[in-house]
Amino acid sequence: MQLTKHAHACVVLEKEGTTIVLDPGKFTPDAEAAVAAADAVLITHEHFDHFDDALLGAALDKRPDLHVYGPASVRDKLGEYGGRVRAVASGDALSIGDFAVTVHGERHAVIHPDIPIVANTGYLIDGRVYHPGDAYHVPDVPVEALLLPTSGPWTKLAEAVDFVRNVRPSRLLQIHELMLSELGQNSVAGMLNNLTGLEMTLLAPGDAREL
């Protein structure tokens, strides 16, 4: 499959004519174009940097072939669109074109005790590429390529290191980076490399990799 990085939490996966977009939120300037080319959109949780309900609602109105998957809170905000918006939860398995997707985890990481915790579902694509959303939930199955969030009010380097060590991927790619400067991204990457033994790939928006 081919993975293309977009700003912040959004990535696009393509294989054999099927395109999936994950977390095209309001921090991703080209989210509308990415969604326009997608067969399906996967949303990890309802926060605006991952989920733009107006954008997806407009896309669903225009395209009767578009499908959206996410926690029940996402379905409730968008509406069901005749079953084209589907609520998913941990343990679910999806078939999207040529992709096999499994759903992992239930809760967003704690930001602060005063802030309510929302539902968060991570997605493992083809048993290989794992997008955790805003959580350090460790799937109970092997992961080849881990998309690692590196910035945000909930992230913590020590927990990120333990997350990588517990998932034990063979490849590590950065996502959720917009709250770090270039210097900050390189600094975090260096510490993660030293503490996990894995070299984290830093992709600029528009960069693509074959996985």
pLDDT, tens only, 73-107: 999 999 999 999 999 999 999 999 999 999 999 99
What pLDDT, on a 0 to 100 scale, did the predictor assign at position 189? 97
d(CA 9, CA 49): 7
Q: What is the pLDDT of residues 138-176, one digit of tens each?
A: 999 999 999 999 999 999 999 999 999 999 999 999 999
- The tokens for 106 are 């239930």
Q: How many residues does the chain have?
A: 211
CA atoms within 13 A of residue 119's CA, in its CB half-sphere:
15
Structure tokens at 151: 């910035």
Distance CA 61, CA 166 (A): 41
What pLDDT is attached to residue 107? 97
Q: pLDDT digit string (tens) for 13-46?
A: 999 999 999 999 999 999 999 999 999 999 999 9
Phi, psi torsion values for 186, nearest 5 degrees: -65, -35
Q: How confident is the model at residue 120 (pLDDT cuts 50, 70, 90)?
A: very high
Pairing of strands 200-201, 85-87: unpaired
Q: How does the average pLDDT of the chain come out, rounded?
A: 97
pLDDT value at residue 156: 96
